[in-house]
Amino acid sequence: MLTKKSTFARNFRYFREKAQLGQEALAEKIGVNVRTISVYETGKGYPKVDLLIKISSILEVPVEHFFADNPENAGRAAKSSTTGLSLSEGSDAFETVQRYRNAIKACQHLIENGNTEACQSLISSFISAVDELETTYMRNKEIEAKLRYATELISSIANGGKPFNK
């Protein structure tokens, strides 16, 4: 069984190699010494949250994937919900659920290592993302309601009805 440090180390190396970046190239891009990259890949240390976010951006990998059980399938394997419905692989809802599961694992990892400040920062980012998703969802529901109303109105007019009854 992998420890949290070895999971991070394995995933970090996997994603660096997948991006076809050598240790020196990545070190240069994020502004650290190449030995620092080696420290991360051997599980002897972790980057601070701001640096992890920068690494995530450069490697084009969500932060939570560095803590996933399987980097090759991070955010991809189908899961069943508690209602018995399955989320289809590749769906937006499925991807969102997987990102949140992995993000929770990342927070658990940070807490286990005594880095509650970094975890709080990550949680604040999640709250902002959820607020944004909720706003988008509500906007889409509003648009859906307007489209439904317009469809009913057009149907009513097409069937000889008046657009507005007084």
Task: Decide: 30 and 58 in contact? Cβ < 8 Å.
Answer: yes
Identify the top-confidence range among 6-10, 103-107, 136-140.
6-10
For residue range 90-101, what is the model confidence (pLDDT) as tens digits?
556 666 666 777
Q: Which residues are CB-neighbours of 30 under 8 A, at least 6 positions away?
A: 51, 54, 55, 58
Q: What is the pTM of this model?
A: 0.50
Q: What is the mean pLDDT of residues 110-118?
A: 77
